[in-house]
Structure 1
């Protein structure tokens, strides 16, 4: 496990973008799992800048979003599909049909099967990019999720829904969908390389538990201790609880 500690969010975003850009330049085709939310937004901004400057070609890239809220269509303002299009995909040259996200509507079991099948057809994930929740979740895999899980529907904890109600997309926790569809832990662990990003003091306890605590389903991110190729980029605030 390679841990890179940087000063702040901006430096974390820059280093993450450098890591991803280098990975893409080194191989084609390439399949990448993408996170959403506040943590990766700066990274996406820098990757778009690299593309606009003619320094980064995404024509050989296939993407899969990590998760989605149940009940939200891709064009819903709060959907993760909408987020990734607005912040990233609409500004780069990924070919049509090469960007994927879980279906938040329709038959749940079928949506999970279809997503796993699409991942398999793409040859699996070469790189998966993750954030970490304050409770140690990765994607929407909440504490207690089986390490053997594949793409599945999961109830969201009250804490996750409370944090999501930040006034941007949801005004109140009760406005946040009660469940999400997510790549499972085993799906994530099957990626050839993992990049985890962490920023801010609210992530310090979870990151310390994931890196230095026991490997347990109570802290989903702790499973990354068992992966052979993990890089963590964390700012000083998020890394405050890590062993010296």
Structure 2
């Protein structure tokens, strides 16, 4: 696992964008695995700038997202389809017909079948990841069991608590999500995680400790053949990590 220490959030965003740009230029018809949350926003902003100002071409790129809230339509301003449109897709020359975010409304079982069918026939060139304070990846919550394929997950209270800032109240936060499984994530050819903010516990378990732990799903990144972690210097210093 390769670890890059970034000076700050913007530096980390640019370093992550460099990796994505290289892949897009070398393989302009590849599929990108994308993520939501605060961690990749800066990277998306930088990729949009490079598309607009430097000719970075997404016209033949496909994408598939990690997850979606159950119960939110794609037009809801807290859905992950809406997030991807407003933070990236509306600002680059990608064909939205080539972008996939799992459906959050309707028949959950049917939605999961569609999600799994797409994942089964898709080779993800690189999967972008953030990480929850408890170490979850996508919405794969800590526990005794992790799932291979896309599935419905009941969200931990800590996840709901962390996400309530985006909603009018905690009661408005969805309690379930559909998410790629850990197997889907690990089958991507490459992984890139951007880790910043108050993620001391997850960062320590990933970078300092030596245990692969289903109670901290991000530790499974250690097993991947080509994984990169970009961490802010401030957070690296807080956990005592030295490259």
**TM-score band (shorter)?**
over 0.9
Comparing 138-147 with 213-222, greater Cα deviation is found at: 138-147
1:15 maps to 2:18: no
Q: Secondary structure at the match of 1:165?
A: helix
Deviation of 1:54 (Å): 3.6
CA deviation digits over 1:62-93, x for unaligned, max 9? 11111111100000011010010011001111
Q: Secondary structure at the match of 2:4?
A: strand
1:208 maps to 2:207: no
Task: Tell me the C-alpha RMSD between the 2 structures.
Answer: 1.4
- TM-score, normalised to structure 2, is 0.94
Q: 2:217 aligns with which of 217, 220, 227?
A: 220
Deviation of 1:124 (Å): 2.0
After superposition, the Cα gap between the structure-2 partners of 1:154 and 1:242, relative to the gap in structure 1 and judged at 3 Å, is farther
Comparing 21-30 with 76-85, greater Cα deviation is found at: 21-30
CA distance in 1, matches of 2:66, 2:142: 17
1:106 maps to 2:103: no
Check the 8 A contact 2:140/2:146 in 1, yes or no. Answer: no
Question: Which runs of no fewer than 5 residues in structure 2 stay unpaired?
Answer: none
CA distance in 1, matches of 2:63, 2:240: 31
Equivalent runs, 1:1-244 vs 2, <5 Å: 1-121=1-121, 123-144=122-143, 146-166=145-165, 169-200=166-197, 202-213=198-209, 214-239=211-236, 240-244=238-242
CA distance in 1, matches of 2:159, 2:229: 22
More helix by share: 2
Check the 8 A contact 1:204/1:237 in 2, yes or no. Answer: no
Aligned residues between the structures: 240
- TM-score, normalised to structure 1, is 0.94
Q: Secondary structure at the match of 2:56?
A: coil
Comparing 138-147 with 155-164, greater Cα deviation is found at: 138-147
Q: Secondary structure at the match of 1:75?
A: coil
CA distance in 2, matches of 1:68, 1:232: 23
CA distance in 2, matches of 1:45, 1:243: 28
After superposition, the Cα gap between the structure-2 partners of 1:145 and 1:38, relative to the gap in structure 1 and judged at 3 Å, is farther
CA deviation digits over 1:196-237, x for unaligned, max 9? 00012x112201202333101000001111100001001013
Check the 8 A contact 1:7/1:235 in 2, yes or no. Answer: yes
CA distance in 2, matches of 1:234, 1:89: 25
